[in-house]
Amino acid sequence: MSKHPRYSLTLLCLALLALLCGCTAPVPVEEPYKEAIVVGFSQVGAESDWRNANTLSMQQAFSASNGYRLIFDDAQQKQEKQITAIRNFIHQGVDYIVLAPTTEKGWDTVLAEAKAAGIPVIIVDRMIEAENDSLFTCWIGSDFLGEGRNAVRWMDSHLEDRPLRIVHLQGNIGSSAQIGRTAGLNEGLSTHPEWELVYRASGDFTQAKGQELVEAVLTQGIDFNVIFSENDNMTYGAIDALKNAGLTPGKDVTIISFDASRHALELVMSGEISYDVECNPLHGPRVENIIQRLESGLESPKLTYVEESAFDAATITPGLLESRGY
């Protein structure tokens, strides 16, 4: 529960004024005035279309018209900035802290400070490693290992038993998305001796870095026929690099991607991306629902996995693209 009072002194003041004026009728107030719920949100950054959609979802959910005041902080991919932001939120006395963590480790001290201040902490998107899970109230996000396994299953069923030479573009090292998706691919490599990992490096989830890495692979003359890219933005960069080299994405090179943003699904439909595993960024309403439960004195599940899908040319439709919210 929030530690801030929810109701103003307006009713009390009006009632006293009525008594002083000798009024006998009750003061007509339809609904008590509620103070805004203050939410401090520490976001990883703005490195991708997914992240920007996630930020917008939070801003829309925690708007003034919905009864909230949102204090937003962009960490620019730096954990130390997130730790500073959380301490600032504590100092400002926010009602709730929402954290989209840069990495899984290194949060125990600052989350213990939030707990001591009586401020619930909700983790979104990436998971954290903590000494004990009482340091945060709950987490909501994706099953990143499941996403990686989903991609491997598609590769197994659609690329048959032919030898695969895989270029692996990883996300931010140490983030839950990178850890889970990499683990999924590693499992596939361990059970498919005909698959070979020929290159692996982090593209930081950015388009520019994804293009840079694939250009380096091409310059080095590395032979490959699959790109396993851990988000859509790195995939866009990879596609640009392939086209600049005279190669046809989706034909000369099979491309596996993650996020399934609208533009990426358009590329799935056109055949440039072979398979895209969904990672839904629209967590704002989900987190807002958690806060409303806590405000009402109800508990929320400790861990909540978002239901997601995946798409290839056989499953994507124009109607799905039109209805896409991100």
Residue with tokens 């309403």: 285
- Tens-place pLDDT, residues 120-135: 999 999 999 998 999 9
Query: Could you tell me how many residues make up the chain?
Result: 326
Does residue 13 carry a pLDDT above 90?
no
CA angle centred on 171, ends 233 and 86, rounded to 5°: 100
The pTM assigned to this predicted structure is: 0.85
The torsion of the CA quartet 199, 205, 211, 217, rounded to 10 degrees, works out to: -10
Give residue 1's pLDDT: 41
Task: Provide the token pair at 95.
Answer: 């009602």
pLDDT in tens, 132-179: 999 999 999 999 999 999 999 999 999 987 899 999 999 999 999 999
Amino acid residing at 113: E
Residue 45 is which amino acid? G
Amino acid (one-letter) located at 270:
S
- The CA distance from 54 to 142, in Å, is 13
Assess if residue 5 is contained within a domain. no
Q: Are residues 189 and 216 in the same domain?
A: yes
- Amino acid 35: pLDDT: 86
The total of structural domains in the chain comes to 2
**In a shared domain, residues 111 and 248:** no
Do residues 45 and 180 both lie within one domain? no
Verify that 211 and 80 share a domain, yes or no.
no
Same domain, 110 and 195: no
The per-residue pLDDT of the chain, averaged, comes to 90
1 within some domain: no
Give residue-wise pLDDT tens across range 70-80: 999 999 999 99
User: 174 in a domain, yes or no?
Assistant: yes
Whether 179 and 275 share a structural domain: yes
For the sheet containing 96-99, what is the strand order?
68-74, 37-43, 96-99, 121-124, 138-141, 303-305
Q: What pLDDT is recorded for position 34?
A: 53
Q: End-to-end CA distance of the chain, in Å?
A: 32
Q: Say how far apart CA 166 and CA 21 lie, in whole Å.
A: 82
The answer to whether residues 41 and 85 belong to one domain is: yes
Q: Are the C-beta atoms of residues 142 and 279 closer than 8 Å to each other?
A: yes
Q: Binning pLDDT at 50, 70 and 90, where does residue 10 land? A: very low
**Whether 70 and 202 share a structural domain:** no
Q: Quick one: pLDDT band at residue 12, thresholds 50, 70, 90?
A: very low
Backbone φ and ψ for 70, nearest 5 degrees, come out as -100, 125
- Whether residues 264 and 287 share a domain: the answer is no
**Domain annotation covers residue 133:** yes
Q: Do 317 and 187 share a structural domain?
A: yes
- Half-sphere exposure (Cβ direction) of 244: Cα atoms closer than 13 Å: 13
Residue at 4 is within a domain: no
Residue 216's domain is classified under what CATH number? 3.40.50.2300
Tokens, residue 225: 């026929």
Find out whether 143 and 176 touch, Cβ atoms under 8 Å: no
Q: Please check whether residues 175 and 76 belong to one and the same domain.
A: no
CA atoms in the 13 A half-sphere facing the CB of 19 = 5
What CA–CA distance (Å, rounded) separates 142 from 263?
A: 20
| Tokens (6 digits) for 275 | 């398979």
Is 305 within a domain?
Answer: no
Alpha-carbon span 271 to 312, nearest angstrom: 8
Range of the domain at 183: 144-279+312-323
Integer Cα distance of 281 and 125 in angstroms:
8
In-domain check, residue 301:
no
Q: Is the domain of 64 the same as that of 88?
A: yes
pLDDT digits (tens, 9 = 90+) for 246-286: 999 999 999 999 999 999 999 999 999 999 999 999 999 99
20 within domain boundaries = yes
**pLDDT at residue 22 greater than cutoff 50:** no
